[in-house]
Structure formats: C-alpha cells, structure tokens
C-alpha cells in the first residue's frame, strides 16, 4: 500500500514467529461478558480484579492498571517524586520505553552497563557511579559532572531474568534513592525466591502483544505504598478531585486500562503458571540442544534466580560459529524463522545523544552478538526442533 508507515515488524505469513500471545482460556468468555453488559470502558469489575490478581501474584499490596507499560513507568516516576532535571540511573541494555518515560518527566537518564553473565544492569557499575561520580550534599546525592540531583534507579529485569538487586537496593538505601523496577519483561521471575515487582519501592509491568501474558496493550503499577498507589490511580484517571463537578487540582493523564482489555488480562493471569512452565520447557530444550554447539552461548539462569525465559536469546561468536548474529538472522529468515537482535543500547541512541554517555562495552558486545529465537508459549515442538535443526546443521555454514 502506498504511503504505508511501517512501525512494527509483524511475523511474516508462514513464518515461525518470534513471540506471539497464547489465547486459549477464558478470554472470549470474559470479553464477551463486557460486550454483552456494555462495561467496555475504564470502569468495571475486570479492571479492579486484574489489579488485584497481578498485585496478589507478585505479593504487593496495590495494583494500578494502565494503558501500557510505558504509561505505568511514567506515572511510577511521578509518584516516586522524580522531578524535572533530576537524574535516574537505568540499564543501557533495554527497550527504549523506560528511558523515554524518564524524559517525559523532564528528568535525565544515566545509562549503566550490563554485566556479562546474565546481561542485566551491573550492580558494581551502579555502585561505582554513585560512589565515585557523585557527591552527597545537604541530604541529597548530586552528579559531580552535571550538578543534577540523582533521585532514582530503574533496574530493568530483561528477557525474563531478574537483576541482581540486593547490592543495588543497599546502595539505594545508603543514598536515599527510590528503586523503580521495570519488571515489564519478567512477570513471574523470582530473585532469591521473591517475585520481581516486589523487591524495590514500586514496579511496572507490560501486557503488550509479545509479553508473557497479553491484553493486546496494557500495563500495571504495583507497590506496597498506599499513598503512592492512590496518587497513581489519581494521575492515571485525569487527576479528578471532584468527578461530578470536573474539578482538577493537578495535571493528570488518561492512562487507565479499559475493562475490555482487563477482562482479557484476568483470563491470561489464570494461565500464567502454565505459560511460565512452557517458556521454561522451551528454554531447556534450546539450551540442551545448543550447549555443545561451538560459538553459541545460551541464555543462563543465575543460582539465585528463577527465570521465566520470556525471550529466549543466544550469543553468536562470529569467529567460532562462522557467521555473526545478523548473518544468522538472515539465514533463519530464509527458512521462514523469525528472530531478532537485542536493542541498540541507549547510550548509543540518537534519542539520548544529549545524555551523559559512559563506556558500556558489555552492552555493546551483547548488542552485536545477541539473537532472540522463537519462543512463543504455544510454539509447537516440531517448530522448535526445526529451529534447532537449522542452527546445528553444518549446512548452515556451507551454503
Ligand atoms: C523493558 C521494557 N520496558 C517497558 C516496556 C513498555 O511497555 P509497553 O509496550 O506496554 O508500553 C517494554 C515493552 O514494550 C519493555 O520491554
């Protein structure tokens, strides 16, 4: 079609897709009920039930449903007191949304490298930055270079695996920094036996099309802090101080999830344990098959972690494997298998060219070498074996 603007890369027809939703429970029934009763908008029993279901699953006291994970992050930053010109530490190896959300508040991201083993935010580099590059003055921490106040840390639990959070929480407590978990990719993952999303001060989830559960689009803030939860609900519903008389004392947002989508979320939550088990099974099959393949490093799970393996990812060593990750992507594409590299690290992104740039060599290397493989919850075993067969076939290298 002429003038078509391409914003997404949908799976091509006949391809094994990277990661698509699994809809096989009560989704139709609950959504139909909304349609039959007319409760389709942002008021209705499913929105509240979905909030309770997610908060309960994570072990948090409160949940506040939002239109998407980016909106959840934006509001979480606001209720946590992040203000214009503050700085917020964030993993550089992430999808762009949390960095964007920081800029929506007028604050500035400071990008921190990944650690090489599990590819998550490096706690040592967080501590180094805070201890060596910042200064404690008048009850707050300031970046020596920019003179801006450092207010918060956003550890992003990427790909279904938790960040090593204890050392980050320790240093955050020392300097009175808020910890906002971006748990959008890791619903159901555990850190030392505790659910991610219930480790920091406030956390955010996403339910977009490729997440472990999907509402089409949707998000959630969870927290134990009642005042923050109340403020989040207020801000996400246009900051109404008197809903009848349309009195607003603050600028709010139209960020509340609809009942229609929350209905789908409730049905998806019922299946979450099965979905996690399926993801772990897929990961285990890949890891088993690829473990002795020279030049391929599989995604691993820390001894202190329970990963959902939300997006199964490998590293490709060009020298040993005989081709780099992008060449492998093209090869698999020829066999109708959709794969994807990880994100351009944020410290390289033009969108953040005016933010302080630090060396992030590990994130750069992961960006160069990583490739995510098909891992939908409903991935058929034949399709999984077909991906493995191509990866392990010597033909791959000689075509
Ligand atoms: C790490 C991360 N943060 C935030 C988001 C934003 O979520 P959403 O797409 O629901 O706005 C996503 C997913 O898209 C993500 O992967």
Beta carbon of 95 within 6 Å of any ligand 1 atom: yes
* pLDDT for the residue 221: 98
How many CA within 13 A on the CB side of residue 158? Answer: 27
Distances (CA, A) of 44 to 51, 88, 158, 181, 265: 12, 35, 32, 28, 13
Name the stretches of the chain with pLDDT < 70.
Answer: 1-7, 394-399
Per-residue tokens: 376: 């939908």
Ligand 1 centroid – CA 144 distance (Å): 31
* pLDDT for the residue 11: 75
* pLDDT for the residue 10: 74
C-alpha–C-alpha distance, residues 210 and 141, integer Å: 37
Mutate to test the pocket of ligand 1, among 95, 120, 154 (most ligand atoms within 8 A of CB): 95
Strand locations in the chain, DSSP E? Answer: 62-66, 87-91, 108-112, 134-137, 140-143, 149-154, 178-182, 190-191, 194-195, 202-206, 219-223, 296-298, 305-306, 313-316, 370-372
C-alpha–C-alpha distance, residues 111 and 104, integer Å: 16
Pair 384, 376: CB distance under 8 Å = no
Per-residue tokens: 187: 């619903």
C-alpha–C-alpha distance, residues 351 and 100, integer Å: 9
Beta carbon of 197 within 6 Å of any ligand 1 atom: no
* pLDDT for the residue 358: 78
Distances (CA, A) of 179 to 73, 77, 152: 12, 10, 6
Put simply, whether the predicted model's pTM sits higher than 0.75 gets the answer yes
Q: Which of 67, 74, 61, 103 is nearest to 86 (CA)?
A: 103
Beta carbon of 375 within 6 Å of any ligand 1 atom: no
Distances (CA, A) of 393 to 3, 232, 238, 293, 398: 41, 52, 56, 10, 10
Q: How many helices (H) and strands (E) does the chain have?
A: 13, 15
Beta carbon of 185 within 6 Å of any ligand 1 atom: yes
3-class SS of residue 259: helix
* pLDDT for the residue 272: 98
Burial class (CB in 10 A: 0-12, 13-18, 19+), 203: buried
C-alpha–C-alpha distance, residues 188 and 211, integer Å: 11
Q: CA torsion sign, 71 to 73 to 79 to 83?
A: negative
C-alpha–C-alpha distance, residues 325 and 271, integer Å: 33
Mutate to test the pocket of ligand 1, among 67, 69, 257 (most ligand atoms within 8 A of CB): 69
Rounded to the nearest 5°, which phi and psi values hold at 305?
-120, 155
* pLDDT for the residue 7: 67
Beta carbon of 99 within 6 Å of any ligand 1 atom: no
* pLDDT for the residue 9: 72
**Cβ-count burial 157-169 (b if 16+ within 10 Å, e if not):** bbbbbbbbbeebb
DSSP 129-168: HHHHHEEEETTEEEETTT-PEEEEEE-B-GGG-----HHH
Angle of helix 97-104 relative to helix 69-79, nearest 10 degrees, comes to 40
Ligand 1 centroid – CA 320 distance (Å): 33
Planar angle of CA 375, 380, 386, nearest 5 degrees:
80
C-alpha–C-alpha distance, residues 49 and 263, integer Å: 9
* pLDDT for the residue 398: 56
What residue owns the CA closest to ligand 1's atom 8?
A: 69
* pLDDT for the residue 359: 82
Rounded to the nearest 5°, which phi and psi values hold at 254?
-95, 75
* Residue whose token pair is 């908060």: 55
Pair 383, 338: CB distance under 8 Å = no
């Amino acid at each position: 079609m002429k003038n078509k603007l391409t914003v997404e890369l949908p799976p091509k027809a006949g391809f094994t897709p990277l990661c698509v939703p699994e809809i096989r429970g009560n989704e139709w029934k609950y959504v139909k009920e909304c349609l039959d009763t007319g409760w389709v908008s942002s008021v209705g029993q499913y929105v509240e039930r979905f909030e309770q279901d997610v908060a309960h699953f994570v072990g948090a006291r409160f949940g506040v449903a939002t239109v998407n994970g980016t909106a959840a992050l934006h509001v979480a930053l606001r209720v946590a007191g992040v203000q214009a010109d503050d700085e917020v530490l964030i993993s550089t190896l992430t999808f762009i949304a949390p960095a964007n959300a920081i800029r929506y508040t007028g604050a500035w991201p400071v990008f921190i490298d990944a650690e090489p083993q599990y590819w998550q935010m490096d706690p040592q580099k967080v501590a180094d930055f805070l201890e060596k590059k910042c200064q404690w003055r008048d009850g707050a921490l300031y970046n020596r270079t920019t003179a801006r106040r450092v207010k918060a840390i956003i550890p992003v639990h990427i790909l279904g695996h938790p960040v090593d959070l204890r050392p980050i929480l320790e240093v955050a407590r020392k300097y009175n920094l808020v910890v906002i978990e971006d748990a959008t990719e890791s619903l159901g993952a555990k850190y030392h036996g505790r659910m991610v999303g219930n480790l920091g001060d406030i956390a955010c989830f996403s339910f977009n099309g490729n997440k472990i559960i999907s509402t089409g689009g949707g998000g959630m803030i969870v927290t134990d802090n009642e005042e923050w939860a109340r403020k989040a609900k207020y801000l996400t519903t246009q900051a109404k101080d008197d809903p009848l008389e349309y009195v607003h004392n603050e600028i709010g947002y139209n960020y509340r999830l609809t009942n229609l989508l929350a209905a789908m979320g409730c049905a998806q939550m019922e299946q979450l344990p099965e979905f996690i088990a399926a993801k772990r099974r897929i990961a285990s099959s890949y890891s088993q098959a690829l473990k002795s393949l020279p030049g391929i490093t599989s995604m691993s799970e820390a001894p202190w972690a329970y990963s959902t393996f939300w997006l199964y990812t490998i590293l490709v060593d060009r020298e040993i494997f005989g081709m780099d990750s992008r060449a492998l992507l093209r090869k698999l594409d020829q066999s109708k298998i959709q794969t994807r590299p990880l994100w351009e690290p944020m410290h390289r992104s033009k969108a953040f060219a005016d933010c302080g740039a630090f060396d992030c060599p590990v994130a750069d290397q992961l960006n160069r070498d990583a490739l995510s493989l098909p891992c939908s919850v409903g991935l058929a075993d034949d399709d999984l074996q077909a991906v493995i067969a191509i990866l392990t076939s010597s033909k791959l290298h000689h075509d």
